[in-house]
Amino acid sequence: MSHPTIPLTSLDDGALISRRSEMRATLEVLPPNSDAANALAEKYDALNHEFGRRVAWAVDMLLADPEALGNDALETDLYLLREKLREQARG
């Protein structure tokens, strides 16, 4: 399956998730370390970075007013997720 170059920031969330699924399925059937697999893996990594950026933004929005969540356990989990995402972003 061909995956044309489209700026990831221009994809809506549904398209981003679909593209991620398609790429993962394609990677699973390509020979490991082939040129095609390596090229697609690079695109997949970029897509995962964009996916993580969007998740981090959503978590930040939810934590903008943590009292509005009305759920201390959810709030705690969101703080933990935010820290994990920040650690991943730092590399």
Amino acid at 40: L
Q: Output the DSSP codes for 22-87.
A: HHHHHHHHSPTT-HHHHHHHHHHHHHHHHHHHHHHHHHHHHHTSHHHH--HHHHHHHHHHHHHHHH
Which tens digit of pLDDT belongs to each residue from 25-44? 999 999 999 999 999 999 99
Task: Please write the tens of the pLDDT for every residue from 41-74.
Answer: 999 999 988 988 899 999 999 999 988 989 999 9
User: What's the mean per-residue pLDDT of the chain?
Assistant: 88
